[in-house]
Structure formats: structure tokens, C-alpha cells
Amino acid sequence: MNYDEIKIIESVKDIINPKFCLEISKDKVVKIILTEPDASLKKVTIYGFDYEKTYAFKLDAKDELNIHKTIRISEYLNPNAEKDINRGCDGIIFTYLNGVGYVLICEMKSEIPHKKDYIQQFRNSSLFIKFISYILDEFYGINVDFQIRYILFDKKKSYGRTETNRKIVPKKESYQDKELYIYRIHHPNENRSLDIKLLDISTHC
């Protein structure tokens, strides 16, 4: 069944608490800015989206009464669980690119990210996305299969010259028998922006 892409994004927007949404700017280009004031990498700007077909929100927002406390994915989960099941990622972006629905799960780390941290956060966030998909199907009559892509930003410097038109492809990473294909974006300069079209987003992973 064909669904209206704008209607789907509007439905996702209706589901998510608006206080956690990320601003989408459309001055000259449509861009999303991820911020993490307490981290060494404080800002990432991504552009190249269709404004009406994109919605973004934080899944690790800070508590309003304590900015050093991160809100857990669900208050119904045990905060002292043996497994690390409570942490989400910095930015979740629902978008349509060339007629295909994607969810970009974005995480910002330091110069030396640790797999045990970011892979678990990616896993937790992907489960939350599946929950949203079930809500869309059950209550909005929208049964769509968003393709999930994992993007990790860090402050590591890139060495050597990189062709500006070369697509960025994901690399397979694993931790505790879980494999994910992750786009690694070295982002030492917070004033630089990432064109989403530089990602080989159609790569099956």
C-alpha cells in the first residue's frame, strides 16, 4: 500500500512528545543541529533534507530539573538492570530521501568512542524505533518499514586527503555477538556540516 510521505512524518511527530523535538532550520538549506553541551563534541550540523518529509528528536534529553541527568528511554525499565538497556542516542531523524523512508540514529562521541557504549545505545534506540512503528501500524493504520541507519560522530581527525565526491560507506562493527553497519564520521571541527547525500545511504545493511 502506498502512503503519503508527509502524512507519515506528521504521524510520527504526533506520537513523540514535542518537548524533545530537534529544530529543523530551512534558511538556505534544510539542516538539523545536534547539540550535547556536556560532551567534548558539542555540535553537529547535518543538511540536505526535505523539510516537509523530515522530523527529528532527542532520545537522551536532559532532565529539566537536573541538566546532568539523562532521561531514560522508559521509566518502566529497571534503572539498575543488569544489561545496559536505558540509554538512547543523541538524535533520531525520520526522513524520506528519494522516496525511501529512513531512520537515522545519530550518536556523538569523543576522540576514542567505546563500542560497549555506542553499540548498546544504537541497539536500544532501534528497539524504540520499532515501538514507534508498531504504534503507527496499530493506531494510525500506517504499516511502513523504515530503513535504519547508524551514524557515529567523533572528534578524531581524518588523515590523508579525501575525495569530496566520494560516498561514505558504513563499516561492520560487532560487540557481544551483535553486528551493526555504522557510518563513522570524523568531525573535529564543529563549524563544519555534513551533507546527508554524502552517505551511501542506499547500501543494504
Return per-residue pLDDT of the chain as tens, 205 residues: 567 999 999 999 999 999 999 989 886 567 888 777 666 787 889 999 999 999 999 998 766 545 556 777 888 899 899 999 999 999 999 999 999 999 999 998 877 788 999 999 999 999 999 999 999 999 999 999 999 999 999 887 764 444 456 799 999 999 988 999 999 998 877 788 899 999 999 866 5
Q: Of 136, 119, 87, 109, give the one whose Cα is nearest residue 36.
A: 109
- C-alpha cell recorded at residue 180: 551493526
pTM of the predicted model as reported, rounded to 2 decimal places: 0.89
What is the C-alpha to C-alpha distance for residues 173 and 9, in angstroms, rounded to an integer? Answer: 30
Extract the C-alpha cell encoding 130: 520499532
